[in-house]
Chains A and B, each alone.
Chain A
Amino acid sequence: MGTAQIALLKVLTPRREISRGLGLSAGALIAGFIFLFWCVITYGALVDTTFCPPPHRVLLALWKVLADGSLFKHAWSSLVVINLGFFLSSLIAIPLGIMMGSFRIVAAALEPVVNFIRYLPVTSMIPLLILWIGIGLEEKVAVIFIGTFFQQIVMFADVSAQVPDELFSAGYTLGASRRQVVMKVLLPATLPGVMDVLRVTMGWAWTYLVVAELVASNSGLGYMSMQAMRGLHADLIFVAILVIGFLGMVTDQIFRWIKAVWLPWAGQR
Chain B
Amino acid sequence: MGEVSIERVGLSFKSRKGDDVIALNNLSLQIPDKQFAVIVGPSGCGKSSLLDIIAGLKEPTGGQCKLDDQVISGPGAERGMVFQNYSLFPWLTVLQNVEFGLSLKNVGQRERIERARFYVNAVGLGGFENSYPKQLSGGMKQRVAIARSLANDPKILLMDEPFGALDSQTRTVMQELLLGVWEKNQKTVLFVTHDIDEALFLGEKVYVMSARPGRIIDTLSVDFPHPRNYDMLTSPPCLELKRRIHHNLHTEVHKAMAAAAA
Contact residues, A169-187 vs B (CB, 8 A): 169-170, 172-176, 180, 184-185
* CA–CA, A60 and B245, complex, Å: 85
Determine whether the beta carbon of A170 is less than 8 Å from that of B134: no
B14 within 8 A of A: no
Contact residues, A222-237 vs B (CB, 8 A): none
Determine whether the beta carbon of A269 is less than 8 Å from that of B56: no
Instruction: Give the interface size class of chain B.
Output: 20 to 34
* Consensus secondary structure, chain B interface: loop
* CA–CA, A269 and B134, complex, Å: 5
The 8 closest A-B pairs by CB, nearest first: A175-B77, A172-B75, A174-B101, A173-B81, A265-B132, A170-B87, A166-B87, A188-B91
- List of B residues within 8 angstroms of A164 by Cβ: 86-87
Tell me how many residue pairs across A and B have CB atoms closer than 8 Å: 83
A112 within 8 A of B: no
Determine whether the beta carbon of A170 is less than 8 Å from that of B89: yes
Given contacts A170-B83, A173-B79, contact A180 B89 (CB under 8 A): no
* CA–CA, A189 and B152, complex, Å: 22
* CA–CA, A184 and B158, complex, Å: 22
* CA–CA, A265 and B134, complex, Å: 7
Determine whether the beta carbon of B55 is less than 8 Å from that of A268: no
Given contacts A166-B86, A167-B86, A269-B133, contact A173 B80 (CB under 8 A): yes
Determine whether the beta carbon of A175 is less than 8 Å from that of B89: no
- List of A residues within 8 angstroms of B26 by Cβ: none
* CA–CA, A173 and B51, complex, Å: 12
Determine whether the beta carbon of B91 is less than 8 Å from that of A175: no
Determine whether the beta carbon of A269 is less than 8 Å from that of B90: yes
* CA–CA, A70 and B139, complex, Å: 61
B76 within 8 A of A: yes
Minimal beta-carbon separation of B26 from chain A (angstroms): 26
B112 within 8 A of A: no
Minimal beta-carbon separation of B66 from chain A (angstroms): 17
Contact residues, A141-176 vs B (CB, 8 A): 164, 166-167, 169-170, 172-176
Given contacts A174-B104, A175-B105, contact A268 B81 (CB under 8 A): no
B118 within 8 A of A: no
Instruction: Give the interface size class of chain A.
Output: 20 to 34
Minimal beta-carbon separation of A169 from chain B (angstroms): 5
From A173, A188, A266, contact of B89 by CB (8 A): A188
- List of B residues within 8 angstroms of A184 by Cβ: 100, 104
- List of A residues within 8 angstroms of B57 by Cβ: 169, 172-173
Determine whether the beta carbon of A175 is less than 8 Å from that of B83: no
* CA–CA, A268 and B88, complex, Å: 12
* CA–CA, A106 and B169, complex, Å: 46
Given contacts A188-B91, A265-B91, contact A170 B132 (CB under 8 A): no
B148 within 8 A of A: yes
- List of B residues within 8 angstroms of A264 by Cβ: 132
* CA–CA, A180 and B88, complex, Å: 16
B85 within 8 A of A: yes
A14 within 8 A of B: no
Minimal beta-carbon separation of B225 from chain A (angstroms): 32
A244 within 8 A of B: no
- List of A residues within 8 angstroms of B79 by Cβ: 173
Determine whether the beta carbon of B76 is less than 8 Å from that of A175: yes
